[in-house]
Amino acid sequence: MVPYGSRMGNSQFDNDLAEIDVRVTELFGLVAAGVSAATDAFLASDPKAARDVMERDGLIDTVYAEIEELIQRCFTLQTPLGKEMRYLLSMLRIVPELERSGDLVEHIAGRGARQLASGLTPRIRGLVERMGLIAGDLWDRARQIYITRDVEQAHRLRTLDDELDDLHAALLAEIVDAELSLPLAIEMALVARFYERLGDHAVNVSNRMRYAMMGAGVHDHD
């Protein structure tokens, strides 16, 4: 699929646009799958599964670099205008968000490799599981929005992100109430933050997709 209405005037340029589209879709899939896999590995305290997730971050980094190279070539081959320019500029903003989200997935999996979940209360485990489900849903929906170009569905991402923020606050409170050891409490506060940031990145990406397709203003979620 040629993204966002290419002029179709330069075959290499159009091929590069189509390849960018394919590779960005791949990045969305890697992040969405990684969230679920990292959560499962964390809760199961499964070092092997966690290492498998962490190794996939290298693939995300590789695809990210390939997309940036393709975008650079598009600007070198031809001066993009209109929708093409918005698309390419948006991708320059979106793919770093995807790469950073991949890093967050790796950080969660890394805590799984260290088997932190074995020392958690059932309540904390339940909150982590819920955050993982919502973060995974956010990224699944973000991927579908990118594939379908249906940015009108972005409001659902904001609703889910608000729920993730509430769970983040609840998990921090539970960490304090559970009187965990200081090292474990610090690590769990970081895990909670990683999930919360995954939600923010998904919302930021949906905002940039809106700009790519409609030229609407972009407001990042802090």
| pLDDT tens digits for range 101-132 | 999 999 999 999 999 998 899 999 999 999 99
Tell me the domains of the chain and their CATH numbers.
Answer: 11-214 (1.20.58.220)
For 18-48, the DSSP string reads HHHHHHHHHHHHHHHHHHHHHHHHHHHT-HH
Q: Are 113 and 57 in contact (CB under 8 A)?
A: no
The pTM for the full model equals 0.89
Q: How far is the first Cα of the chain from the last one, in angstroms, to the nearest whole number?
A: 32
| pLDDT tens digits for range 136-184 | 999 999 999 999 988 788 888 999 999 999 999 999 999 999 989 999 9
